[in-house]
Chain A
Amino acid sequence: MDIHSKLEAQGRVDQVLAFQSELSFLEQHELLILDDAQNTRLQSYHAQLLTSLQKSYDVDLNSNEKQLTMGMKIASFIGALGLAASLFFLFYQFWDKFALLSQVAILVATPVLGLMATYFISIKETTGYYAKLMALVTLSGFVLNLVMLGSIFNITPSPNAFFVWAVLAFFLAYSTDNRLLLAAGIFSIAFFISARVGVWGGLYWLNLGERPENFFVAALILFWVPAFSHTRYAGFDSIYRVLAMVLFFIPVLVLSHWGSGSYLDFDRNVIEGVYQAAGFFFSGLLIWLGIKRGWLDVVNTGNVFFVLFLYTKMFDWWWEIMPKYVFFLLVGLFAILLLTIFKRLKNSLGESA
């Protein structure tokens, strides 16, 4: 089996550990007993496999290690935030001490040194935590770099900054297998694309939110990015799809209650009706697509938005006209109905598997 990412390696380890546990259970109950030669060959194969995976991908071989890994991830995230904030305030604290040339040199050097440090750490360390932490600091340094150059030289603000931040975030995310940076890159590029779409629609770039449909193009593009192979990267495809769905469904939700925000030249009520129907249709469609393709993330996100559309609609219909206890009774009954549907869906998924 080819393993391309830490996520896949961890999956393989979990598979081996589950197999070992089940084998031990079967042996205890004398349902399956391997002879010594088979046992030795199996144990030797598993030991070799686990050692090799741990060396290459720093996988967790038991639940204690998994808990520690989670702690390290949280510590790494907090460390990156702390270092980025520290960098920011350090600049402001001593900024007035430097001459213009030194200020420019410091601003340019910060992301450059950050990048070099990230690269060398990623080669040297086995876990990847320090490289990811350094990558986040580097991106913060680059954001600071452009913001402060803009401020020093009184440069007219432009959406292009979001494009270059996104590109650097993507480069760093793909080179250090960092999902947080991928999310930062996705939001930056979505902002850039939506601002550009808004400009084509006659808006000033900062007013992109005046027409929520501006976000649809970015959502559509981002949803299909994982169609290009992402097997090397842990969970990247899910992040693209989930964030693309958020970028699509939130504007749909807004437009289903604020028809005048649309580019469509119809009556406000018609537009709101269309977007309410679109909300149900597309969340249903994506749940179906998620089941068909085995995309659990898409199924879950589709479910969340389907329920959100349903409850906002129920609120619109019934909140004013019903006694509150009847309204909440209906909410409860709908929840039970949804549970039944999801249970059936789960059963059918289990059967097809």
Chain B
Amino acid sequence: MKHLPGSKTLFILALSLVLLVNAFILIGVWYNRSGLAESVVVLTERELHMPYRWNRDQTSVRIDWRAISSDGDSYSGYSSPAWFDENKLVSLGFEFSDDSATDYKKHFIEAEAVLVLEYDGETYQQAVKHAQKRVLDIEKKLSRLVDDEDLLSDLKRAKENLKHEEQSASRLFVIDAGLDKEALRIQYPDNQRYILAYGIVDVRSTGSYRNNTKPTFTGRIDRLSVQYLYIDNSVYSNIDKLKPSLQYSRNENSPRFSLAVHYGQKLEPWIDSSSFALLNNSISR
């Protein structure tokens, strides 16, 4: 091939680019992990989900988070948490005008925000109480209508839900969002209970503009920016040893392991492999 003029320079530039980009990334990783971690929380299998099909190519676990929706039920997506109202959306940079309802209905408008995740705190206790209350309410109704089959099956489901809530549901709840991580940390100072992490939020509008009713806007948490956490060889083999019942199922098991998850200066997480610990059922809750 006739050597193209300037191609040597281009190769040198290409080489510099590859090295510089890698250096930039690795310096970013070093900076994120330098100094004291922004937050450190010991999560269990309840919050760190394995994929449905576990195999030897597995390199990550998924962070399972929830939030309390406006009707009091906890959820993992699709509806809006009670605290995520129009004022909160405005504080995250969303703008609302008369045409906003149409706009937000037709477009998928997302934004990145700093989310506050509470681990095993008040919000989780609220979720447990809510599940307990449901059981009590149905039992009360059943005391009047003893053989009502619908109520009996509702009671069965409510009890299963309570067991799930107490034994295996994630205790990690998104409880707030903002743009200023320092301000949020001042508001939620306990960095072993409150994680600050980037996440993606969007807008839901309710009320029909056709009926001239003023629409109301609520926010929804779509996902964490980093939803999957990389696990290295040692963590992989430790989890792999938990065979044969690798799949962590709803209501069936208590969590079997715990891991310390650190969030650094850039709010990017990592798992401390040496923190892997097996749990027995008595200490799982």
Residues of B near A142 (CB, < 8 A) are 18
Most buried by A among B19, B25, B109: B25
Known: A145-B22, A152-B230. A171 touches B14 (CB 8 A): yes
* B101-148 contacts to A (CB < 8 Å): 102, 106-112
In the bound complex, do residue B225 and residue A126 qualify as a contact, i.e. CB atoms below 8 Å apart? Answer: no
Main secondary structure of the interface of B (DSSP, over half): mixed
Contact flags (1/0) for A96-135 with B, using CB distance below 8 Å? Answer: 1101100010011001100110110011011110010000
Chain A residue at smallest Cβ distance from B270: A154
Any chain B CB within 8 A of the CB of A325?
no
Tell me, in angstroms, the Cα distance from A125 to B5 when the chains sit together: 16
In the bound complex, do residue A104 and residue B17 qualify as a contact, i.e. CB atoms below 8 Å apart? Answer: no
Residues of B near A107 (CB, < 8 A) are 22
Contact flags (1/0) for A132-149 with B, using CB distance below 8 Å? Answer: 000000000010011001
Residues of B near A204 (CB, < 8 A) are 109-112, 200
Known: A149-B25, A151-B230. A125 touches B1 (CB 8 A): yes
Any chain A CB within 8 A of the CB of B276?
no
Residues of B near A249 (CB, < 8 A) are none
Chain A residue at smallest Cβ distance from B106: A260
The stretch that binds B, out of A62-70, A173-181, A274-282, A299-307, is A173-181
Tell me, in angstroms, the Cα distance from A1 to B233 when the chains sit together: 62
Any chain B CB within 8 A of the CB of A309?
no
Chain A residue at smallest Cβ distance from B94: A202
Tell me, in angstroms, the Cα distance from A128 to B7 when the chains sit together: 13
Any chain B CB within 8 A of the CB of A157?
yes
Tell me, in angstroms, the Cα distance from A172 to B22 when the chains sit together: 18
Any chain B CB within 8 A of the CB of A243?
no
Tell me, in angstroms, the Cα distance from A146 to B10 when the chains sit together: 21
The stretch that binds A, out of B55-63, B72-80, B82-90, B158-166, is B55-63
In the bound complex, do residue B110 and residue A207 qualify as a contact, i.e. CB atoms below 8 Å apart? Answer: yes
Any chain A CB within 8 A of the CB of B207?
no
Known: A204-B112, A210-B109. A167 touches B17 (CB 8 A): yes
Any chain A CB within 8 A of the CB of B283?
no
Any chain A CB within 8 A of the CB of B26?
yes
In the bound complex, do residue A151 and residue B107 qualify as a contact, i.e. CB atoms below 8 Å apart? Answer: no
In the bound complex, do residue B17 and residue A153 qualify as a contact, i.e. CB atoms below 8 Å apart? Answer: no
Known: A58-B1, A174-B10, A175-B14. A153 touches B268 (CB 8 A): yes
Tell me, in angstroms, the Cα distance from A202 to B267 when the chains sit together: 23
B100 shortest CB reach to chain A, Å: 12
A186 shortest CB reach to chain B, Å: 17
Known: A96-B236, A156-B226, A260-B106. A146 touches B25 (CB 8 A): yes
Say which residue of B17, B112, B267 sits within 8 Å of A171 (CB atoms).
B17
Any chain A CB within 8 A of the CB of B15?
yes
Tell me, in angstroms, the Cα distance from A123 to B4 when the chains sit together: 10
Chain A residue at smallest Cβ distance from B57: A92
In the bound complex, do residue B17 and residue A168 qualify as a contact, i.e. CB atoms below 8 Å apart? Answer: yes
Chain B residue at smallest Cβ distance from A3: B2
Residues of B near A17 (CB, < 8 A) are none
Any chain A CB within 8 A of the CB of B266?
yes
Any chain A CB within 8 A of the CB of B13?
yes
Any chain B CB within 8 A of the CB of A56?
yes
In the bound complex, do residue A154 and residue B268 qualify as a contact, i.e. CB atoms below 8 Å apart? Answer: yes
In the bound complex, do residue A155 and residue B3 qualify as a contact, i.e. CB atoms below 8 Å apart? Answer: no
Any chain A CB within 8 A of the CB of B255?
no
Most buried by B among A97, A171, A176: A171
In the bound complex, do residue A123 and residue B13 qualify as a contact, i.e. CB atoms below 8 Å apart? Answer: no
Which B residues have a C-beta under 8 Å from some C-beta of A?
1-8, 10-11, 13-15, 17-19, 21-22, 25-26, 28-29, 32, 56-57, 59-60, 95, 99, 102, 106-112, 198, 200, 225-226, 228-230, 232-233, 236, 266-270
29 pairs, A vs B, C-beta closer than 8 Å: A6-B2, A96-B59, A112-B15, A115-B15, A118-B11, A119-B8, A122-B7, A128-B1, A145-B18, A145-B22, A146-B25, A149-B25, A152-B230, A153-B270, A154-B228, A155-B25, A155-B268, A156-B266, A164-B17, A172-B10, A174-B7, A175-B14, A176-B4, A177-B1, A203-B110, A204-B109, A204-B111, A207-B109, A261-B107
